[in-house]
A and B are shown apart, each in its own frame.
Chain A
Amino acid sequence: MNQDPTPNEESASDASADRSGPQADQGGPMTVRFTPERFVRELWIDTALRRTVAVAAVLAIIGLALFEQAGASVNFLAVFGQVVSPLAFLVVILLVVGWIGVSTISANVWRALPAVTAMIARNPDVAEDGLARLMKRRPLMRWVRLLLYHRLAAIRHRQHRFQESAAICRAVLSEPLGPARRQRGSLLLMLAEASLQCRDMHGAYGALYELHREKLGLAERLQRLAIQTRYEVLNGHDRAALGGLRDKLMLAELMPAEHCGAMHAMLTASARRVGRPELADWLWRRSQLLCGPEKLDRLVRGAFAIGVVGPPE
């Protein structure tokens, strides 16, 4: 939950401008600097390394077969038959073991990821340190690398560096996600919220539009509802915000108390603007019980920035 909703991108960007990552700041925790070029380059290096191993394996097998069958016509099917010498067989086995070794790097990184994820909510800086160490590993499978960037977006979101968070989400979403597809909803939610924080309504609309085409779980549907309501209230689409109010409130009641209170506060603003004072009063009294006056005041001043998108599951 973001406590301070005020966007402070400039200072955050300045702070990270002199970093090149992943790197350690004089023995301190490692940080990651994101640029779209670097992201594309890392994906390219991973792919190139993995393909090199695969091509080397195929070439080695063919080379051995040719070497052993020198002078004779090569029957590639026979390679796997009686004509294979123990040396050739050993090379093939070594290559298979090598390929498994390469895959093991990805498997280890994937296994270490939950520890980083769990740390995002508690201490994003420590999580970033762990993530930076994982990002240094190579070669990684494409979808594992994309998962690492997804977690980086979550860390930036948590650190209120919304511009960077949005940029990472956009970069990851522009790639084919493969097995990381399950994170698409989470990426779109972060993108929508980060865009709203940066007052990029166009970006927020695009992300919300995509979110409506996604099959989301209940928790994600609740987050989408909160973000969409905020988008509608900020843009003055008050009738849309109040549409299906009963169902919206029923869903809002499933949210954590503060988010539920914030939803009520947002709907209060819309109810006031469309001239429904009784409804506004009822919603406001509920939001006061759910949020508390101080929190409500902060919410209203911060344009209802409630930070509904938490760390990924």
Chain B
Amino acid sequence: MSVEPRAGFAPPSAEQFEEHLRAHPINPPGKWQLRAPILVAAGLLGLSIATTGPVSALLPWIGLAWLFGHNWVRAQRAMRLESQVRRSQETAMLRRYPRSLREAWRILPQAAPMPALHSQTVAMISHCLDSLGCYDAAIVGYDYLLQRLPPGEPITVHIGVSRANAALGAERLSDADDSIRRLRGAVEPFKDTTISAAYRLAQLAQQVRTHHFAEGAQENDDLIEALRPLGIEAGYGHALMALCHYKQNHHDGETEAQSSHDAARLWWDRATLLLPPATLLQRYPELAPLTEMT
């Protein structure tokens, strides 16, 4: 797993993203805007009934043709936009985040009349920013979505967990603590899913960032199982657990130290089996001491 290099690319700042969202908010067409084509067609029909002559006979057909043409153009535009968003999502899946971010940034203004597509695009921009380590900017997008999505829905909980992870990345520890506590109940129904796995990763990262290594190391019994839905990204959790054991090593007696060292080594081996050390360090620089064990 490797992230596309960022040479010559400057991701937007939190302020820029905020401004972009403010300039292009969700703007669905109004009730009258939606009804306008039908009203125009009805008007033409009325006109044709009220008047006589060849033109009046043709008016309803012109009206109908215009109505169909208008709807067809609108549908085509929506489909084109949807396929652009899908392409951009695929680019993000392939971890080409800068390119995906650029595409999504350009799509956002056009997606304003379509709420679902707009939210999807904001989520994608936030995900790309998160993956590029621009946590503050990513949080702007996550907050924007959390204010608008219905609470309790899987996507809302997922974004909440991503936000907590991003807050930890941005070293906003009390903010992250709040988010993690708030999410505890919401995550319950999503056992054995990527949501619960990402939540467990957030809890572990919080323990590491707040130097509660012993606490983290104690909760290793079901960690492999809990992180499994993350796929190879479970490697981040394994590496954090290795760090917990490694740090504990320095506070233990000789016998315990050896066992902590062995445990750290085991977890680090698991982590590097799934992800290369460089990728692990890119997201969690505090893992650097563990590279000596490789």
Residues of A within 8 A of B (CB): 80-82, 84, 89, 93, 96, 217-218, 250, 253-257, 260, 282, 285-286, 289-292
Is there an interface contact between A82 and B54, defined as CB atoms closer than 8 Å?
yes
Minimum distance in angstroms from B196 CB to a CB of chain A: 13
Minimum distance in angstroms from B25 CB to a CB of chain A: 26
Pick the contact of B94: A93, A254, A286, A292 (CB < 8 A). A254
Q: Please provide the 8 A-B residue pairs with the shortest distance between their CB atoms, ordered closest to farther.
A: A218-B90, A257-B231, A80-B57, A81-B54, A253-B232, A260-B231, A257-B229, A257-B228
Minimum distance in angstroms from A308 CB to a CB of chain B: 14
A218 vs B96: C-alpha distance when bound (angstroms): 13
Across the interface, which residues of A come within 8 angstroms of B229, CB to CB? 256-257
Is there an interface contact between B231 and A81, defined as CB atoms closer than 8 Å?
no
Across the interface, which residues of A come within 8 angstroms of B270, CB to CB? 289
Minimum distance in angstroms from B230 CB to a CB of chain A: 7
Residues of B within 8 A of A (CB): 1, 45, 49, 52-54, 57-58, 60, 64, 86, 90, 93-94, 224-225, 228-232, 234, 270, 273-274
Tell me whether chain A's interface is mostly helix, strand or loop, or mixed. helix
Considering only CB atoms, which chain A residue lies closest to B83 in the complex?
A: A217
Minimum distance in angstroms from A178 CB to a CB of chain B: 15
Considering only CB atoms, which chain A residue lies closest to B1 in the complex?
A: A253
Considering only CB atoms, which chain A residue lies closest to B60 in the complex?
A: A93
Across the interface, which residues of B come within 8 angstroms of A292, CB to CB? 224-225, 228
A282 vs B274: C-alpha distance when bound (angstroms): 10
A285 vs B269: C-alpha distance when bound (angstroms): 11
Minimum distance in angstroms from A189 CB to a CB of chain B: 17
Is there an interface contact between B228 and A84, defined as CB atoms closer than 8 Å?
no
Evaluate whether A256 and B231 lie within 8 angstroms (CB atoms) in the complex, with A217-B86, A218-B94, A289-B224 already known: yes
A254 vs B228: C-alpha distance when bound (angstroms): 14
Across the interface, which residues of B come within 8 angstroms of A286, CB to CB? 273-274
Considering only CB atoms, which chain A residue lies closest to B53 in the complex?
A: A82
Is there an interface contact between A253 and B231, defined as CB atoms closer than 8 Å?
yes
Minimum distance in angstroms from A284 CB to a CB of chain B: 11
- Which among A96, A255, A256, A289 has the highest number of chain B CB atoms within 10 Å? A289
Minimum distance in angstroms from A61 CB to a CB of chain B: 12
A257 vs B225: C-alpha distance when bound (angstroms): 12
Across the interface, which residues of B come within 8 angstroms of A285, CB to CB? 273
